[in-house]
Amino acid sequence: METRIPPPVVMVLVGAAMWLVARWTPALTLSLPGMGWLAIATAAAGIALAVAAAWALHRHRTTINPMRPQDSSHLVDTGPFAWSRNPIYLADLILLAAWAVYLGNPLTLALLPVFVLYINRFQIRPEEAALEQHFGGAFRVYRRHVRRWL
């Protein structure tokens, strides 16, 4: 695999970069009523999605380790995996969006596509290649029917 940085570390690094952007551009920070609650609700949605996806992997007794997709024992296509091939990365993106709302600086939103582009290139592509090699036609059918993110 081409990936070297575990996705949770990528998420933390992007989150830290968002914090730095907000800190360096305080004049852009907004404080609107309800932003705190919106951040909490968005984070709760991200956490719920991550838990549901992890539970689906656990129920099928397959690996959750994104660094070793070749260790997958089952192609999971139920639960959140029925509508997103990468619900855990989607959950990470939702958590980063919640962080952006909490920070209140619109400039931090510019880092969300950076996360998506990085994860697509250095995590998802190699993962999908490994899963296709491991599961063959079953993965190709799954890939045709379920979108990468949403």
User: For the segment 83-94, what is each residue's pLDDT rounded down to a tens digit?
Assistant: 999 999 999 999
Residue with the two structure tokens 């551009």: 25
Q: What percent of the chain has pLDDT over 90?
A: 96
Contact 103/35 with Cβ under 8 angstroms?
no
pTM: 0.96
Contact 56/79 with Cβ under 8 angstroms?
yes
Residue with the two structure tokens 């209140």: 104
User: For the segment 58-75, what is each residue's pLDDT rounded down to a tens digit?
Assistant: 999 999 999 999 899 999
The answer to whether residue 3 scores a pLDDT higher than 90 is no
User: For the segment 106-133, what is each residue's pLDDT rounded down to a tens digit?
Assistant: 999 999 999 999 999 999 999 999 999 9
The answer to whether residue 53 scores a pLDDT higher than 80 is yes
Q: What is the mean pLDDT of the chain?
A: 96
Please state the length of the chain.
150
Residue with the two structure tokens 């036609």: 137
Contact 1/67 with Cβ under 8 angstroms?
yes
The answer to whether residue 2 scores a pLDDT higher than 70 is no
